[in-house]
Each structure stands twice: as structure tokens, then as C-alpha cells.
Structure 1
Amino acid sequence: MFRVQFKRLPGNEDVPLPARMSEWAAGFDLHAAVTEPVTLKPGERGLIPTGFAMAMPPELEAQIRPRSGLAYKHGVTCLNTPGTIDADYRGEVKVLLANLGQEPFTIARGERIAQMVFQVVPRIEIAEVGELPDTERGAGGFGHTGR
């Protein structure tokens, strides 16, 4: 089990901290900490504050992902998905939302806007080599296995 610390930022005592909406949910829902409603017109994007900062162990990253209901019902999604929050970041968590829908979408204070999923990040050693080992696939790229 990993311990993640959350710090509610001043003026956001009324905004819920991230929470799972069901016992086995992978993601923690994030709430908007806007001071007044923000309307995104079709095609617009906006950086929405959440009202908290956090500290997590170096073995973790947090990924910001869209909420499926907002994406399906309104065409509202996250850009840079999944957005990565590194373990050494201590600033306010913000969500980059985009309205890909046909109608303006208004974000109210406290509204659930995205979800955050924690992932373990393996430690990687980079090794420069002169040649790579062969595989059956080789350098086959986009569409190499068919349609």
C-alpha cells in the first residue's frame, strides 16, 4: 500500500478531495475548484484548478484521465491524456479540459471533472548499444500486421 498526502489549498475547504466513487474504482474523481462557473465553447479548452496539491512516493505517478460520462454525454475530455503528475511535483493539480462537443459546457465549483489513477513507475536504466537484438517483428511499424 502506498500513502499519498493531500493538502487542501486555502479557500478550497468546500471542494471535495479526490475520492473513489465505488469500492473497486481505479480512479479518484477530481472536482473543479473554480471561483466562478467556467464555460467552454465548442473547440475551446481551459485549465481547471482542483484546489489541492499532493505528495506521493517516488515509485508512483498520477495520471489524469477523462470522465467517461462527460466525454460521452457532452464531448468534454482531457487534453494530454493521460496527463502525468510526477512524484516530485508539489503545485496545485489542474486539469486541461477541452470541449469537443457541439454545445457550450459550463463547469461549476465542486463538479466532478476528471479522474486520477495512480500507477507504479519502474526504475529504468538506459543502455546505449551499437545493435539491438532481432525479433520476428523487426522494424515493422504502423499497420504492418494488416488493416
Structure 2
Amino acid sequence: YANKDVFVKCGERAMVPLGFALELPEGWEGHLAPRSSTFKTWGIIQTNSVGVVDDTYIGDNDQWHMPVYCLQGKDIESENGEEVKGTWIRKGDKIGQFRIMEVMPEIEFEEVESFGNKDRGGFGTT
């Protein structure tokens, strides 16, 4: 949930405070993502696609935030009476969701010249 009202002008970004902090167990991390309705409702996207919060982010001022960028806004009257294109995210709006996940174990990769398999056509072919 957004922890306070935030106005984001179209073409600009903002950090939306979520009003909580977590002390995650060692070896665990949080993945913050927008809800499926976030863009349709507010015209915003999360600027880092998915936010990964590791278990060391536990300072007294380490409140979780959602970094957003406004792509679609509505005409809204500003404080000085001018029309401004943007969107309001209001305190209590459900703009994101998160999952707590175990950190992926470290793995080793082996570099090879060829896999020896049939090509499948690349991205966007299936």
C-alpha cells in the first residue's frame, strides 16, 4: 500500500513510500513488483521492473519504496490553477505486491563452443 499521497507528472518518476520495513532472515530476499492492475489504474510502471531487497536492507530508515514512472496521466488542475498531466497515487492505494524468496544458491557455469542441439528460432518464435 502507498503510505502517503504522491503526485507523479507524466514523463517523470517518483519514489512511493510503502510504509513498512522488514528484517528478512539471512539467505532470503524480497521481490517487489507492480500489481497487474497498476498500469491500467494509474498509468505508471515500476522503473526497476522488479525490485530485489536483500537481507542486509535493515537499517532504521530502510522503509520499502516503489520507484515509479508515469507514462499515462490525466489532466489535473495544479495548485496554481494550471492543467498538469499526471496521476495521483493516494495513501492506501494497492500499487504493488511482494514475495519473500530464498536466495538462489551459487552455481558454476561452464563455457562451451556449442550445445549440439537444434536451434529453436530465437525469442518470440514460440
Residue 89 of structure 2 corresponds to residue 107 of structure 1:
yes
Which runs of structure 1 show a deviation greater than 4 angstroms over 4 or more consecutive aligned residues?
Answer: none
Count of aligned pairs: 110
Q: What SS does structure 1 have at the residue aligned with 2:38? A: helix
* Per-residue Cα deviation, 1:95-132 (whole angstroms, up to 9, x for no partner): 101111142210112221211122222220457x6x53
Which residue of 1 is the match for residue 100 of structure 2? Answer: 118
Which residue of 2 is the match for residue 32 of structure 1? Answer: 2
Deviation for aligned residue 1:78: 0.8
Residue 47 of structure 2 corresponds to residue 79 of structure 1:
yes
Amino-acid identity (%): 26
Q: Normalising to structure 1: TM-score of the pair? A: 0.62
Deviation for aligned residue 1:73: 3.2
Which residue of 1 is the match for residue 80 of structure 2? Answer: none
* Per-residue Cα deviation, 1:46-96 (whole angstroms, up to 9, x for no partner): 001112110112232111111111212332221101110011211111110
Residue 30 of structure 2 corresponds to residue 62 of structure 1:
yes
What value does the CA root-mean-square deviation take over the aligned residues? 2.6
Give, as a single letter, the amino acid of the residue that structure 2 aligns with 1:132.
V
Gaps of at least 5 residues in structure 2 are: 75-85
Which residue of 1 is the match for residue 66 of structure 2? Answer: 95
Bigger RCO (CA 8 Å, 6+ sep)? 2
Question: Contact conserved, 2:73 with 2:87, CA < 8 A, in 1?
Answer: no
Question: Contact conserved, 1:78 with 1:97, CA < 8 A, in 2?
Answer: yes
